Structure 1
Amino acid sequence: MFPPVYKTIRTPEVIAIVADRIGRHGEIGQDEQRPYITWSIVIGNPHDQISGAPCSDFTSVDINCWHPTDGGVEQLALEVRAALDAAGHHNRVRVNLRDPETRLYRVGIEADFITQR
């Protein structure tokens, strides 16, 4: 139910771009430097079974890469995707835009985690 998102995407390549600016619950401090990553759980489902409590969970997570430049957000998203791929997590891009309020570029990746209980 609580997948290891931070641990999975916190690779040397991602850290080189965002340091520790990775915010859970889709938030990061207003005064944080850019670029950064936010993430939140979209949906979590247990793998139910008749013989007892579920032994694992399937969780979809929304990971958003934020950067002041178009090229920068693309590079950050590629590094996050590489980290997810290396850990064996199915993922897909679900949004690619420029936020009208912050003027930051955003690439949103949805990733699926299966975690054992």
Structure 2
Amino acid sequence: MLPKVARTIRTPAVAAIVEDRIGRHGQISPTEKRPYVVWQVVSGQAYDNLSAAPGGDFTTVQIDCYHPTDAGVEQLAKAVRDALDAVLIVNRVAINNVDPDTKLYRIGLEADFIDQR
């Protein structure tokens, strides 16, 4: 239940927008330059069976894109979505708003990672 989120979404298109500003656990330093992407595990389920240890995991991850402009956050979210699509990870928009704390535009995607152990 430890998916390789940052490695999956760190494509040239995403890096062109956020460089290496991709943070785990939904956090990034308040002094960090904007825009950025953060992610966190929402839920996880092992593929349990009775005869052996689980062979894999199904993990839902929320990936939040933050940008100072509406057009910019849309471009960033599309780049993240394209990165997920390229490796066949099912994803969907879960949040689309202006964050009340940061005043940044935010689009949150949920992505379903299926990993073998």
Q: Structure 2 length as normaliser, TM-score?
A: 0.98
What is the distance in 2 between the residues matched to 1:89 and 1:49?
Answer: 24
SS of the counterpart of 1:26? coil
Corresponding residue for residue 43 of structure 1: 43
DSSP 3-state at the match of 1:115: strand
CA RMSD of aligned residues (A): 0.5
Q: In structure 2, how many angstroms separate the alpha carbons of the residues matched to 1:38 and 1:30?
A: 12
Percent sequence identity over aligned pairs: 61
Alignment of 1:52-63 (within 5 A): 52-63=52-63
Q: Which residue of 1 aligns with 2:75?
A: 75
Give the aligned length: 117
| Runs of 4+ residues over 2 Å off in structure 1 | none
Structure 2 stretches lacking a partner, 5+ long: none
Matches within 5 A, 1:12-31: 12-31=12-31
**Whole-angstrom CA distance in 1 between matches of 2:77 and 2:20:** 16
- Give the deviation of 1:14 after TM superposition: 0.1
Separation of aligned partners in 2, 1:26 and 1:101: 14
Structure 1: stretches of 5+ with no match in the other structure: none
Q: TM-score, normalised by structure 1?
A: 0.98
- 2: CA distance between counterparts of 1:28 and 1:79? 19
* CA deviation profile, 1:28-55 (whole Å, cap 9, x unmatched): 0010000000000001100011211100
SS of aligned partner of 1:53: coil
Structure-2 residue corresponding to 1:85: 85
Alpha-carbon displacement from aligned partner over 1:35-90 (angstroms, at most 9, x marks no partner): 00000000110001121110000000000000000000000000000000001100
Partner amino acid for 2:85?
D
SS of 2:27 mapped into structure 1: coil
The CA deviation at 1:101 is 2.3
